Amino acid sequence: MKSKIIFVLFFAMFFNGILFAQERTTVILQNDWKFKKGDPSGAEEINENTSDWKSISIPHDWAVEEDFIKDGDGNTGKLPWKGQAWYRHDLDLSAIKKGDKVFLIFDGIMAFPKVYINGKLAGQWDYGYNSFYIEISDHLDFTENAKNVLAVHVDTRQHDSRWYPGAGIYRKVRMVAMAPIHTKIWETQVTTPIIKPNYANVRISSLVKNETSEAKKITVTQRILNPEGNEVAKKSISHKLRAGEENYFEINTQLTNPMQWDIEHPHLYKTITEVSADEKIVDLSESTFGIRSIKFTPDDGFHLNGRRVQLKGVNLHHGHGPLGAAFYPRAMERQLEIMKSMGVNAIRSSHNTAAPEVLELCDKMGILMFNEVFDKYDRKADIVDTTNFESFAERNIRNFVMRDRNHPSVFIWSVGNEMHDVQANANNGFRRLLTMLNYVRKYDHTRPVTMVNDVQDNAALRHFDLYDVHSWNYGRRYQLARQMEPNKSVIISESASTVSTRGFYEFPLPEKKTDFTKSLQVSSYDFHAPSWAEIGDDDFMWQQDEPYIAGEFVWTGFDYLGEPTPYTNRTVKGMGMSDKEAARSSYFGIVDIMGIPKDRYYLYKSYWKPGEKTIHILPHWNWKGEEGENIPVFVYTNGDCAELFINGKSQGKQCKSPSSKNSTERFRLMWKDVVYEPGEVKVVAYKQGEKLGEKTLKTTSEATKIKLSADRKIIKADGMDLSYVLVEAFDKDGNLDPLANEGLEIEVSGAGELAGAGNGDPQSFEPLQDHKVDLFYGKAMIILKSGMEAGTIKLKVSSENLKGETIKIETEN
């Protein structure tokens, strides 16, 4: 078993005719960790006996692998995430030279980590979503065969949340070693002060420290590589640094005919920062950047590279369903692929700092990023140290902005979501707002900064004077702020909050958006939303009518653990039920928690991707017992009209009404009076008078077999890569049985393991990482994870009444 992953930034080059090889070493601490729940004494000591500790790898979320607590708090996912635990790992220093400066970079630990090296406290952090680093050089023992033990104490008891936060070391950990003269972590900043079609000015500033005991003349060279990997600029600057001194080394250069970063063509440049002293290159690091211009206009929304781009965004929480908070880059990449396939061009990291890979993926995939640091800090606080707000804000915003500021995808910073006392200027709210804004601006002056609001009347206090763009959640609450300050554009930072359960329909159609029943599921006709929110069509309409709106971020792209509105503990009690009935995950997602599209996916796609053919019919057509009853049929299409046929009989043609004040008439086609008879539903759609295409849907018989389809059949053998396998129940004619709910057994063997399974049912209390899952309205999803060795993963899915299936996934080095 390979126990560590080492990246050495290695360059061999001629310098004054002599060959020098230089390196900065990064070791990813992924495997060979020990874990123990609770707070055993001596857990940090070098020679602690860990024979009864569990072997795990990072990322790790200790709560998501446990059983649900049926009568627990649905808002945080009914999982046992509160508590303390310890992690230990033996550091292997073989790739590191004595005298190097050694750092640990943690991308996120939930929460309040205390980091010990060889029994001594080396550093600590508080906010569970932020990245942080600590220097451990002085704690390490370089004598031969010496043990160097990293121990991390994690404590979520002081953290609170409005959703499932996760627990443990849930993002990656790196050990980075560099020479005593080096560029400091996150301290190369690239900006592009002038961008013209035929040239761009690039300014690169690196903060370099001399940690040797003597003064040195230091040269920093920036070598810029274009998106094709060719060196297009090279510039150096020298300064003398005294022992212990640090200073900025800044160069300005010009690139001709730059390839711009855009959502269509996300071209990325790179700068390699070479630090040399005594005629030798002593440190190398690289930073990725993009050349693009962003601007918010008062009346024409958001401009990217000089043209208007309507933000078609979704909010995404940090969790990944059955993986919990544990961050796997592939899980995130897949989320973004699914969102992009629907037309998304932007995401909001609600309501906290994302894993760094999220930004890298957005850069690569051409997705704009609304980068947010905190949630409201009331009782369910993100702001964990209110006694010393200044220092909390300073260090957390510093890490947040410095880590992410070179990413071209980041187009705005948000200091927080729905901070009620800030909006109301209570408890020195505006002072604190200003503190946060100032720290953002201190570390990055090139992007707008905002705060997300929800209390309309508080706009009268003019908090918007302090930041750059109006950001408002739901219900056209932006109106007062916009009226008072028409020179600022508006982002609907949370739109919709429509709720639905994939595959579930209730009749008759609701009269009000809040007509929720005791079914504990929400009908998928897309008419339901909580009192404060609306259906997606309303937001489309407001944006059509008000072009100053830069765009929207739907709440939410994916369902997530926690916040099961409308079936929270409080609301089910109000309906006369018990805590046990409260759900464990949300109904807000456009796709379910496994990424399987709900009907709404096609509503967004039909509007956001007008050039791509969408013809989607809802509901399914298996309504045994409802013969002769009314079953409304809706069609989501990018066409403008369609004709509906039931068993060949026309039910008439419907067309969208682009100027209707009833938003659903603008964006959907609805036949509300269809009488159910089993058989075939057919839709023929038209666009501008031409036939766009047709779609049919059949009444199926009961499922007889299982069908497996993997999103990727070849994955990397790195212990991190994932294959998502969709399980569907088909009838004898090969049609999906939309009512199948059989229990399935999962067997995984070979070169990988089961990472989790789920089915999109917010009321399912099957443990998320068990070898069992139920079909839910015909579907479920299984996640496989590769091991460290190449080979074949075999997945067998069986059930009592359906013919099982086996699928093989190859893993490669």
Least Å from the CB of residue 588 to ligand GAL: 6
What are the tokens at 624?
Answer: 């045994």
Distance of CA 444 to the CA centre of its chain: 22
Whether the CB-CB separation of 187 and 207 falls below 8 Å is answered with: yes
DSSP annotation of 141 reads -
By the 8 A CB rule, do 322 and 66 touch? Answer: no
Find the shortest distance in angstroms from Cβ 534 to ligand GAL. 10
Q: Which of 494, 534, 552, 665 is catalytic?
A: 494
Q: To the nearest whole angstrom, how small is the minimum distance from the Cβ of residue 796 to ligand GAL?
A: 39
As measured in angstroms, the least distance from the Cβ of 586 to ligand GAL is 8
Q: Is 494 a catalytic residue?
A: yes
Tokens 């059983």 label which residue? 67
Token pair in block for residue 410: 């980041």
CA atoms within 13 A on the CB side of 309: 23
Query: Among candidates 587, 563, 562, 567, which has minimal Cα distance to 579?
Result: 567
Whichever of 454 and 731 has its CB closer to ligand GAL, that residue is 454
Least spacing, CB of residue 559 vs ligand GAL, in Å: 12
Amino acid at 38: G
In whole angstroms, how close is the CB of 315 to ligand GAL at the nearest point? 7
Q: 417 or 585, CB closer to ligand GAL? A: 417
Residue (374 or 400) nearer to ligand GAL, CB: 374
Torsion of CA 272, 277, 281, 282, to 10 degrees: -90
Q: Would you say 375 or 444 has its CB closer to ligand GAL?
A: 375
- CB contact at 8 A, 117 and 152: no
| Distances 271 to 93, 234, 285, 409, 544 between C-alpha atoms, Å | 28, 9, 8, 17, 41
The residues near 607 (Cβ < 8 Å, ≥ 6 apart) are 343, 540, 638, 667
Residue whose CB is less far from ligand GAL, 101 or 513? 513
Q: How many helices (H) and strands (E) does the chain have?
A: 10, 45
* The three-state (H, E, C) secondary structure of 251-307, written as one string: EEEEEECCCCECCCCECCEEEEEEEEECCEEEEEEEEEECCCCEEECCCCCEEECCE
Assess whether 581 carries a catalytic annotation.
no
Q: Which is nearer to ligand GAL, 494 or 643 (CB)?
A: 494
Question: Least distance to ligand GAL from the beta carbon of 470, Å?
Answer: 16
CB of 273 to ligand GAL, least distance (A): 39
Alpha carbons within 13 angstroms on the beta-carbon side of residue 532 total: 13
User: Shortest gap between Cβ of 501 and ligand GAL (angstroms)?
Assistant: 16
Q: Which amino acid, residue 636?
A: Y
Angle at 477 between CA 476 and CA 479, to 5 degrees: 80
- DSSP collapsed to 3 states, 169-215: CCCCEEEEEECCEEEEEEEEEEEEEEECCCEEEEEEEEEEEECCCCC
DSSP codes, 669-712: EEETTPBP-SSEEEEEEEETTEEEEEEEEE------EEEEEES-
Query: Of 65, 274, 372, 418, which is the active-site residue?
Result: 418
The least CB distance from residue 490 to ligand GAL, in Å, is 16
| Nearest distance, CB of residue 562 and ligand GAL, angstroms | 10
Alpha-carbon torsion angle 458, 462, 468, 469, nearest 10: 40
Q: Which of 534/731 has CB closer to ligand GAL?
A: 534
DSSP annotation of 535: -
Tokens of 702: 């009961």
Residue 446 phi, psi dihedral angles, 5° rounding = -100, -5
Q: How far apart are CA 222 and CA 232, in angstroms?
A: 11
Which residues here bind ligand GAL, judged by CB under 6 A?
162, 350, 417-418, 454, 473, 494, 497, 530, 533, 555, 563
The smaller minimum CB distance to ligand GAL, of residues 454 and 506, is found at 454
Q: Between 62 and 374, whose beta carbon lies closer to ligand GAL?
A: 374
Measuring CA to CA, which residue among 352, 349, 346 is closest to residue 365? 346
By C-alpha distance, which of 534, 582, 521, 586 is closest to 557?
Answer: 586
CB closer to ligand GAL, 187 vs 526: 526
Q: Give the residue closest to ligand GAL by C-beta.
A: 497
Which sequence positions are flagged as catalytic?
418, 494
